[in-house]
Amino acid sequence: MNATSSRTMWMRALAAPVIMGAVFSAGITLAPPADANPRTVTVTTGAGPINVREGAGTNTRVIRTIPNKTRVTIVCHVRGQSFSGGPFGVTTNIWNKLDGGGYVTDAMLETGSNNPVVPACSSAAPATAGRATGQTRGTNTGVSGQCTWGAYHKWFVASGNRHYPALSGNAKDWAASARATGWTVVADAQPRSIVVFQPGVHYADRTYGHVAWADRVEHRADGVYVTITEMNYGGKVGQWNTRTVKDIPGMSFILLP
Protein backbone atom coordinates (compact mmCIF):
# COMPACT_ATOMS: atom_id res chain seq x y z
CA MET A 1 0.00 0.00 0.00
CA ASN A 2 1.48 3.38 -0.95
CA ALA A 3 1.72 6.37 1.37
CA THR A 4 -1.01 8.35 -0.29
CA SER A 5 -3.58 5.55 -0.24
CA SER A 6 -2.85 4.60 3.38
CA ARG A 7 -3.26 8.20 4.46
CA THR A 8 -6.56 8.71 2.63
CA MET A 9 -8.09 5.22 2.85
CA TRP A 10 -10.53 6.24 5.60
CA MET A 11 -12.24 8.65 3.20
CA ARG A 12 -13.37 5.98 0.67
CA ALA A 13 -16.94 5.76 2.01
CA LEU A 14 -17.66 9.48 2.13
CA ALA A 15 -18.69 10.18 -1.45
CA ALA A 16 -18.35 9.22 -5.10
CA PRO A 17 -14.80 8.78 -6.41
CA VAL A 18 -12.93 11.96 -7.32
CA ILE A 19 -9.79 12.02 -9.46
CA MET A 20 -7.59 15.12 -9.54
CA GLY A 21 -4.10 15.05 -10.98
CA ALA A 22 -1.67 12.18 -10.43
CA VAL A 23 -1.22 12.31 -6.66
CA PHE A 24 -4.43 10.59 -5.57
CA SER A 25 -5.59 7.17 -6.77
CA ALA A 26 -8.99 6.55 -8.32
CA GLY A 27 -11.65 5.70 -5.78
CA ILE A 28 -10.27 8.03 -3.09
CA THR A 29 -12.14 11.19 -2.20
CA LEU A 30 -10.07 14.28 -1.59
CA ALA A 31 -10.19 16.12 1.71
CA PRO A 32 -12.05 19.44 1.70
CA PRO A 33 -9.92 22.41 0.67
CA ALA A 34 -8.33 24.67 3.28
CA ASP A 35 -10.77 27.21 4.65
CA ALA A 36 -11.04 29.74 7.44
CA ASN A 37 -11.92 27.19 10.12
CA PRO A 38 -9.51 25.23 12.34
CA ARG A 39 -9.37 21.49 11.78
CA THR A 40 -9.20 18.71 14.36
CA VAL A 41 -6.88 15.92 13.24
CA THR A 42 -5.13 12.91 14.78
CA VAL A 43 -1.47 12.62 15.69
CA THR A 44 -0.20 9.46 13.95
CA THR A 45 3.49 8.80 14.54
CA GLY A 46 3.29 5.02 14.53
CA ALA A 47 5.03 4.87 17.90
CA GLY A 48 6.10 7.62 20.30
CA PRO A 49 4.96 11.22 20.75
CA ILE A 50 5.18 13.99 18.17
CA ASN A 51 7.49 16.95 18.80
CA VAL A 52 5.88 20.38 18.86
CA ARG A 53 8.51 22.83 17.67
CA GLU A 54 9.08 26.55 17.92
CA GLY A 55 9.39 26.88 14.16
CA ALA A 56 8.83 25.04 10.92
CA GLY A 57 11.82 22.72 11.04
CA THR A 58 13.55 20.02 13.07
CA ASN A 59 16.40 22.39 13.86
CA THR A 60 14.11 24.56 16.00
CA ARG A 61 13.53 24.07 19.71
CA VAL A 62 11.12 21.38 20.95
CA ILE A 63 8.65 23.16 23.22
CA ARG A 64 6.54 20.13 24.17
CA THR A 65 5.47 16.69 22.97
CA ILE A 66 2.03 15.21 22.28
CA PRO A 67 1.28 11.46 22.57
CA ASN A 68 0.51 9.34 19.53
CA LYS A 69 -3.21 9.12 18.61
CA THR A 70 -4.06 12.40 20.37
CA ARG A 71 -6.66 14.60 18.67
CA VAL A 72 -5.29 18.11 18.09
CA THR A 73 -6.57 21.29 16.47
CA ILE A 74 -4.55 22.97 13.73
CA VAL A 75 -5.31 26.55 12.72
CA CYS A 76 -3.02 27.33 9.76
CA HIS A 77 0.06 26.07 7.93
CA VAL A 78 3.46 27.30 6.72
CA ARG A 79 6.03 25.90 4.31
CA GLY A 80 9.28 25.07 6.07
CA GLN A 81 11.98 22.43 6.21
CA SER A 82 11.26 19.24 4.27
CA PHE A 83 10.60 16.31 6.59
CA SER A 84 10.64 12.64 5.62
CA GLY A 85 9.29 9.87 7.81
CA GLY A 86 6.32 8.87 9.88
CA PRO A 87 4.05 5.87 9.30
CA PHE A 88 2.80 7.26 5.98
CA GLY A 89 6.33 7.40 4.54
CA VAL A 90 5.79 10.85 3.01
CA THR A 91 8.14 13.77 2.44
CA THR A 92 6.54 17.15 3.05
CA ASN A 93 7.45 20.73 3.86
CA ILE A 94 4.04 21.49 5.37
CA TRP A 95 4.12 22.45 9.07
CA ASN A 96 0.80 22.98 10.85
CA LYS A 97 0.39 25.51 13.65
CA LEU A 98 -1.51 24.22 16.70
CA ASP A 99 -4.19 26.28 18.38
CA GLY A 100 -2.08 26.24 21.55
CA GLY A 101 1.03 27.41 19.70
CA GLY A 102 3.93 25.60 18.10
CA TYR A 103 4.35 23.72 14.85
CA VAL A 104 4.13 20.02 13.93
CA THR A 105 5.04 18.29 10.69
CA ASP A 106 2.14 17.31 8.46
CA ALA A 107 3.86 13.95 7.89
CA MET A 108 2.66 12.73 11.28
CA LEU A 109 -0.91 14.01 11.22
CA GLU A 110 -3.87 12.07 9.83
CA THR A 111 -5.54 14.84 7.85
CA GLY A 112 -6.91 12.85 4.91
CA SER A 113 -4.75 14.71 2.42
CA ASN A 114 -1.12 15.27 1.44
CA ASN A 115 -2.02 18.92 0.80
CA PRO A 116 -2.76 21.63 3.38
CA VAL A 117 -6.21 21.37 5.00
CA VAL A 118 -6.02 24.73 6.80
CA PRO A 119 -5.17 28.18 5.38
CA ALA A 120 -1.67 29.61 5.23
CA CYS A 121 -0.66 31.42 8.40
CA SER A 122 -0.80 35.20 8.12
CA SER A 123 2.78 35.49 9.38
CA ALA A 124 5.71 33.20 8.79
CA ALA A 125 6.91 30.70 11.33
CA PRO A 126 10.12 31.52 13.22
CA ALA A 127 13.15 31.03 11.04
CA THR A 128 14.69 27.60 11.02
CA ALA A 129 18.36 26.94 11.40
CA GLY A 130 19.71 26.83 7.87
CA ARG A 131 20.47 23.78 5.80
CA ALA A 132 23.11 25.22 3.56
CA THR A 133 23.72 24.01 0.02
CA GLY A 134 27.36 23.18 -0.49
CA GLN A 135 29.43 22.01 -3.42
CA THR A 136 27.85 19.30 -5.58
CA ARG A 137 28.82 16.88 -8.33
CA GLY A 138 26.84 15.03 -10.95
CA THR A 139 28.08 11.47 -10.44
CA ASN A 140 28.22 8.92 -7.64
CA THR A 141 31.91 8.63 -6.81
CA GLY A 142 31.51 5.99 -4.11
CA VAL A 143 32.90 2.52 -4.64
CA SER A 144 30.11 0.31 -5.99
CA GLY A 145 28.54 -1.84 -3.27
CA GLN A 146 30.17 0.07 -0.40
CA CYS A 147 28.48 2.23 2.23
CA THR A 148 29.67 5.45 0.57
CA TRP A 149 28.02 4.51 -2.73
CA GLY A 150 24.79 3.71 -0.89
CA ALA A 151 24.74 7.00 1.05
CA TYR A 152 25.42 8.99 -2.11
CA HIS A 153 22.61 7.13 -3.90
CA LYS A 154 20.06 7.82 -1.16
CA TRP A 155 21.02 11.52 -1.13
CA PHE A 156 20.65 11.73 -4.91
CA VAL A 157 17.16 10.23 -4.82
CA ALA A 158 16.07 12.44 -1.89
CA SER A 159 17.32 15.53 -3.74
CA GLY A 160 14.98 14.77 -6.63
CA ASN A 161 17.74 13.14 -8.70
CA ARG A 162 19.55 16.48 -8.93
CA HIS A 163 22.98 16.10 -7.36
CA TYR A 164 25.44 14.41 -5.03
CA PRO A 165 27.40 16.25 -2.32
CA ALA A 166 31.04 16.82 -3.29
CA LEU A 167 32.67 14.84 -0.46
CA SER A 168 36.04 13.15 -0.22
CA GLY A 169 37.94 10.72 1.99
CA ASN A 170 36.83 7.58 3.79
CA ALA A 171 33.43 7.39 5.46
CA LYS A 172 34.80 8.66 8.78
CA ASP A 173 36.11 11.80 7.01
CA TRP A 174 32.84 12.82 5.43
CA ALA A 175 31.62 15.17 8.18
CA ALA A 176 34.82 17.22 8.00
CA SER A 177 34.71 17.17 4.20
CA ALA A 178 31.07 18.31 4.20
CA ARG A 179 31.86 21.27 6.45
CA ALA A 180 34.78 22.22 4.21
CA THR A 181 32.59 22.13 1.09
CA GLY A 182 29.76 24.21 2.55
CA TRP A 183 27.18 21.69 3.79
CA THR A 184 25.51 21.96 7.19
CA VAL A 185 26.75 19.31 9.62
CA VAL A 186 25.21 18.85 13.08
CA ALA A 187 25.69 16.53 16.02
CA ASP A 188 21.99 16.07 16.87
CA ALA A 189 20.07 13.47 14.89
CA GLN A 190 18.16 14.81 11.89
CA PRO A 191 16.19 12.99 9.18
CA ARG A 192 16.91 13.64 5.51
CA SER A 193 20.64 13.48 6.09
CA ILE A 194 23.73 11.34 5.75
CA VAL A 195 24.78 10.00 9.14
CA VAL A 196 28.51 9.58 9.62
CA PHE A 197 29.71 6.93 12.09
CA GLN A 198 33.20 7.20 13.47
CA PRO A 199 35.20 3.92 13.62
CA GLY A 200 33.70 1.41 16.05
CA VAL A 201 30.43 3.32 16.58
CA HIS A 202 27.45 1.00 16.06
CA TYR A 203 29.71 -1.61 14.41
CA ALA A 204 31.27 0.85 11.96
CA ASP A 205 34.51 -0.38 10.40
CA ARG A 206 37.33 0.32 12.87
CA THR A 207 39.54 1.74 10.15
CA TYR A 208 37.25 3.49 7.67
CA GLY A 209 34.10 4.30 9.66
CA HIS A 210 30.67 4.03 8.08
CA VAL A 211 27.97 6.20 6.48
CA ALA A 212 24.24 5.66 5.98
CA TRP A 213 21.05 7.55 5.18
CA ALA A 214 18.91 8.80 8.09
CA ASP A 215 15.26 8.08 7.23
CA ARG A 216 13.60 9.19 10.45
CA VAL A 217 14.28 10.22 14.03
CA GLU A 218 12.31 9.12 17.07
CA HIS A 219 12.46 10.47 20.62
CA ARG A 220 12.04 7.76 23.24
CA ALA A 221 12.19 7.80 27.01
CA ASP A 222 15.81 6.64 27.00
CA GLY A 223 17.10 8.83 24.17
CA VAL A 224 16.93 9.61 20.47
CA TYR A 225 16.86 6.82 17.90
CA VAL A 226 17.58 6.99 14.17
CA THR A 227 16.26 4.61 11.53
CA ILE A 228 18.85 4.30 8.79
CA THR A 229 19.20 2.70 5.38
CA GLU A 230 22.71 1.56 4.56
CA MET A 231 24.79 -0.52 2.20
CA ASN A 232 27.51 -3.03 3.11
CA TYR A 233 26.50 -3.46 6.76
CA GLY A 234 28.28 -6.42 8.30
CA GLY A 235 30.48 -6.85 5.24
CA LYS A 236 27.55 -7.62 2.92
CA VAL A 237 28.82 -5.77 -0.14
CA GLY A 238 26.10 -4.42 -2.41
CA GLN A 239 23.25 -5.30 -0.05
CA TRP A 240 20.84 -2.80 1.47
CA ASN A 241 20.01 -2.98 5.17
CA THR A 242 17.68 -1.04 7.49
CA ARG A 243 18.12 -0.78 11.26
CA THR A 244 17.38 1.59 14.12
CA VAL A 245 20.26 2.84 16.26
CA LYS A 246 20.55 5.14 19.25
CA ASP A 247 22.05 8.58 18.66
CA ILE A 248 25.31 8.53 20.63
CA PRO A 249 28.64 10.40 20.54
CA GLY A 250 30.63 9.61 17.43
CA MET A 251 27.73 10.24 15.04
CA SER A 252 27.18 13.36 12.95
CA PHE A 253 24.65 14.35 10.31
CA ILE A 254 25.18 16.02 6.91
CA LEU A 255 21.89 17.78 6.18
CA LEU A 256 20.22 17.79 2.77
CA PRO A 257 18.36 21.12 2.27
The verdict on pTM exceeding 0.75 is no
Give the per-residue pLDDT at 124: 47
pLDDT score recorded for residue 7 = 56
Q: What is the mean pLDDT of residues 41-63?
A: 89
Contact yes or no for 44/86 (Cβ under 8 A): yes
Task: Name residues whose C-beta falls within 8 Å of residue 230's C-beta, 6 or more positions apart in sequence.
Answer: 147, 150, 151, 210, 211, 212, 213, 240, 241, 242, 243
- Angle, CA 167 vertex, CA 165 and CA 168 arms, to 5°: 160
The pLDDT assigned to 80 comes to 85
Q: In the predicted model, what is the mean pLDDT of residues 123-152?
A: 82
Instruction: Supply the pLDDT for residue 130.
Output: 61
Tens of pLDDT, residue by residue over 71-102, are 999 999 888 888 888 888 888 989 999 988 88
Label residues 162-181 b or e (16+ Cβ within 10 Å = b): ebbbbbeebbbbbbebbeeb
